[in-house]
Every structure is written in structure tokens, then in C-alpha cells.
């Protein structure tokens, strides 16, 4: 078959064993076998599947671009997780802010907080810690992405929060009625994760000072310490409020701030070691050096290295390609 199609033997082998091959090769080899490539191609799902993919080399474990939503693909941040869960595991629950540059891993960390304590062990990596909270099943987590247009209308956002809490939605769903329903019914620990909060402040006139003050008063006075906010932003919440012309009471309730930097070297090595085909020491050291342990850059370089190994190409061309792919994100490397 390799002779007939003039496609390399290693690519034909990869094709026949279900490993990724280039699109054009895939189409041509399918045609050769009289098959419609669309019928036999494995198409990457939009987000990571809730069931882990087999790690026998069929699916790449390296995710670049979309936030990590499945805990098994998330690495590191141990120090931040310890601090954050400490604020959330006792009464009163306390608020926290996560500050990090663009593409540093803020959204991934919010998803991880929400999911790690209730993900079944068989969907985690063997050594992954998940017992951060004494009674994780009592917690309600609400993820709010303020970039999502539906969250930018006050009424829709309030409805979404009530629905997530499984509470009755009043009509009309205005601030007063929302406050009433929540303060009457919220009796178990609840964490509202606010992502892209600066978008909320800059672009959503309906999310005005009155709205934020109401959230503050809910958390501090009306829910017996059961409600906390964790927000993610590229700059400090107080400054952000100031720069967008908001008064700051809501934004000064964030007692703890986690600054997201690079991973520690140990954490970065764990991410690299998750490759289904192990890398040589020399490759590992090169990836650590060039990425400075930033998770996105690690993922990009690992993806390139793995792709090259899977293609059976044993040269160093992947390094050049990796650096090229890293380029749009090298702002992470500026101190
Ligand atoms: N803890 C992590 N473990 C593994 N990969 C990570 C981790 N955190 C971030 N990444 C990588 O970084 C990429 C960007 O992560 P994420 O979208 O969470 O960043 P962000 O700070 O929310 O970005 P943006 O500023 O664009 O909203 C992910 O696609 C993933 O490749
Ligand atoms: Mg994000």
C-alpha cells in the first residue's frame, strides 16, 4: 500500500493502527481502501469528553487553546489550590481573586476548583489529590462566564444563578426578588466563579454598581457565611473597578489574591511526563527551558514533540515548529 500510494510506510502503519496522520494522507489512504474518510475519521469533540480517552496513544493528551475542563488534563497549581480550598472549606466561606496574564490558565483553574472534588477517582490520574473539602457533595458551584452574551443581561444572569441553585425563579426576576429568594433559601456552601469579570465591568451597563453592591451584601450579610465569590481577572479587582468607573465595595471583599505565574519545575515535569510516548531527557530539558514552565507553552512544545514521534520522524524539526507555534504567546515570558 505504501508503494502504491507513495506515502511513507510509517504513515501507512499509523493510519492502519488508528494513530493521527495528516489530512491529505488520511483521505488518500481511505480512498485506496474504498472507504469514505468521513465515515472512519475520529473527530475531535468540541470540549474534552467527560469520560477519559484511552491513553494508549490514540488521543493526544496535550490541550492547547481551550481551557482545561477535565481535571485529569490539569497540572500543578498546588500552592494556589491549597490556599483557595482553605478559604472555601470553613465557615464563613471567603472570597478570592485569581489574577494572571492572558493565557496564563485562569479559566482552567476555575473549572478545576469546580470539578476536582467530585470527579470519580477513575477519571483522575492515579496521584491526583481530590480530597480538598470535607463534604464536597454539599457544595454548589456556579460558573459564570461574563464574556457569554447571555450573562450580560442582569435578568438572565440572575435567572441563571437561581436555576443553578435549583431555586424558584420569580417574575419579574429583579434584584430585590432575587435577593429575597437567595437569602431565604441558601443554606449550603455555594461558590460563584466569575470569569472574565473585566468584560462584565467594561461592556455591560446592566451590571452596574447597584448590581455588584447587591451581590456583596448577599455574601456578607444574608447567607450566613455560605456564599463566596472567586473571580478571575488579568488585573487587580480594585484597580479594575476604578479604571472602569465603578465604585469599589464589591471589589474590596476579595481578601486573598492568587497570582498565576509559571508552574513549578516539578509540576512542569509531570505535565511533560504525561506523554503517551516518553520524551528523552534532552527533549524534556529543552522543553522546560524554552517554555519557562508556562503551562500553555509546555502544552504547545509537548504537542509538537509527540506529533513528530507519532509520525515516526526522528529529527529536530519539531523544535523549530514548536517555537513558531509558541510565538503568539511569548508575552507570558516577559517579566
Ligand atoms: N493547570 C494547567 N495544566 C495544564 N495546562 C494548562 C493549565 N493551565 C493552563 N493550561 C494551558 O493553557 C491554556 C490556556 O488556559 P486558560 O484558557 O485557562 O487561560 P486563561 O488565563 O483563562 O486565558 P485567557 O486570558 O485567554 O482567558 C490551556 O489551553 C492549556 O493549554
Ligand atoms: Mg480565560
278 CB-near residues (< 8 Å, 6+ apart): none
Asked if residue 203 and residue 120 are part of one domain, the reply reads: yes
Asked whether 121 and 130 are in contact (CB, 8 A), the reply is yes
Asked if residue 93 and residue 28 are part of one domain, the reply reads: no
From the CB of residue 182, how many other CB atoms can be counted at a distance below 10 Å? Answer: 22
Asked if residue 271 and residue 250 are part of one domain, the reply reads: no
Distance CA 86, CA 189 (A): 13
Asked if residue 111 and residue 185 are part of one domain, the reply reads: yes
Asked if residue 193 and residue 176 are part of one domain, the reply reads: yes
From first to last of its 335 residues, the chain has per-residue pLDDT tens of: 898 888 889 899 988 988 888 777 888 898 889 888 877 887 654 455 555 444 444 455 899 989 999 999 999 999 999 999 999 999 999 999 999 999 999 999 999 999 999 999 999 999 999 999 999 999 999 999 999 988 889 999 999 999 999 999 999 999 999 999 999 999 999 999 999 988 888 888 899 999 999 999 999 888 889 999 999 999 888 888 888 888 878 888 998 999 999 999 999 999 999 999 999 999 999 999 999 999 999 999 999 999 999 988 878 899 999 999 999 999 999 97
Asked if residue 256 and residue 174 are part of one domain, the reply reads: yes
Domain that holds residue 35: 1-43
Q: Can you give the pLDDT at residue 28? A: 87
Is residue 333 domain-resident? no
Q: Choose which residue among 75, 100, 103 to substitute to test ligand 1 binding: the one with the highest number of ligand atoms within 8 A of its C-beta.
A: 103
Of 241, 260, 279, the residue that ends a domain is 260
> How many Å is the maximal CA-CA distance in the chain?
75
Q: Can you give the pLDDT at residue 13? A: 92
Among protein residues, the one whose CA lies closest to atom 31 of ligand 1: 64
Please state the separation of Cα 11 from the chain's center in Å: 33
Pocket of ligand 1 (CB under 6 A): 63-68, 74-77, 100, 102-108, 271, 295-296, 299
Distance CA 320, CA 331 (A): 18
Among protein residues, the one whose CA lies closest to atom 13 of ligand 1: 296
Asked whether 296 and 106 are in contact (CB, 8 A), the reply is no
∠ CA 15-19-25, rounded to 5°: 40
Ligand 1 centroid vs 220 CA: distance in angstroms? 31
Distance CA 5, CA 27 (A): 11
Is the N-terminal amide bond of 202 cis, ω within 30° of 0? no
Is residue 17 domain-resident? yes
The helix (run of H) or strand (run of E) holding residue 144 is strand 140-145
Asked if residue 23 and residue 154 are part of one domain, the reply reads: no
Ligand of minimum distance to the alpha carbon of 66: 1
Is residue 54 domain-resident? no
Asked if residue 245 and residue 316 are part of one domain, the reply reads: no
Distance CA 281, CA 284 (A): 5
DSSP code at position 194: E
**DSSP letters spanning 260-285:** E-PPPHHHHHHHHHT-SSPPPHHHHH
Asked if residue 298 and residue 181 are part of one domain, the reply reads: no
Handedness of CA 320, 321, 325, 328 (dihedral sign): positive
Count of domains forming the chain: 3
Q: Can you give the pLDDT at residue 48? A: 55
Per-residue cell: 233: 481577572
Among protein residues, the one whose CA lies closest to atom 17 of ligand 1: 67
Amino acid at each position: 500500500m505504501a508503494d502504491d500510494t507513495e506515502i511513507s510506510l510509517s504513515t501507512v502503519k499509523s493510519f492502519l493502527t488508528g494513530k493521527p496522520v495528516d489530512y491529505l494522507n488520511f483521505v488518500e489512504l481511505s480512498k485506496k481502501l474504498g472507504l469514505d474518510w468521513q465515515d472512519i475519521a475520529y473527530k475531535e469533540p468540541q470540549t474534552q469528553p467527560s469520560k477519559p480517552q484511552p491513553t494508549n496513544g490514540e488521543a493526544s493528551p496535550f490541550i492547547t487553546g481551550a481551557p482545561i475542563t477535565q481535571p485529569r488534563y490539569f497540572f500543578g497549581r498546588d500552592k494556589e489550590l491549597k490556599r483557595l480550598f482553605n478559604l472555601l472549606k470553613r465557615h464563613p466561606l471567603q472570597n478570592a481573586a485569581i489574577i494572571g496574564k492572558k493565557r496564563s490558565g485562569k479559566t482552567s483553574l476555575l473549572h478545576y476548583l469546580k470539578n476536582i472534588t467530585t470527579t470519580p477517582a477513575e477519571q483522575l490520574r492515579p496521584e491526583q489529590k481530590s480530597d480538598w473539602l470535607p463534604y464536597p457533595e454539599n457544595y454548589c458551584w456556579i460558573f459564570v462566564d461574563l464574556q457569554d452574551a447571555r450573562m450580560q443581561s442582569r435578568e438572565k444572569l440572575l435567572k441563571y444563578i437561581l436555576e443553578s441553585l435549583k431555586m424558584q425563579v420569580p417574575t419579574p426576576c429583579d434584584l430585590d426578588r432575587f435577593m429575597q429568594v437567595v437569602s431565604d433559601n441558601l443554606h449550603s456552601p455555594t461558590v460563584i466563579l466569575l470569569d472574565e469579570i473585566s468584560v462584565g465591568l467594561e461592556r455591560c451597563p446592566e451590571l452596574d454598581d447597584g448590581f455588584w453592591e447587591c451581590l456583596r451584601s448577599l455574601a456578607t450579610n444574608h447567607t450566613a457565611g455560605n456564599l463566596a465569590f472567586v473571580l478571575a481577572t488579568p488585573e487587580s479587582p480594585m484597580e479594575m473597578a476604578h479604571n472602569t468607573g465603578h465604585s469599589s465595595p464589591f471589589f474590596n471583599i476579595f481578601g486573598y489574591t492568587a497570582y498565576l505565574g509559571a508552574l513549578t519545575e516539578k509540576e512542569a515535569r509531570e505535565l511533560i511526563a504525561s506523554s503517551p510516548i516518553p520524551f528523552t531527557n534532552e527533549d524534556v530539558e529543552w522543553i522546560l527551558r524554552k517554555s519557562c514552565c508556562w503551562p500553555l507553552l509546555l502544552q504547545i512544545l509537548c504537542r509538537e514533540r509527540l506529533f513528530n514521534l507519532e509520525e515516526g520522524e526522528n529529527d529536530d524539526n519539531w523544535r523549530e515548529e514548536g517555537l513558531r507555534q509558541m510565538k503568539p504567546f511569548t508575552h507570558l515570558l516577559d517579566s
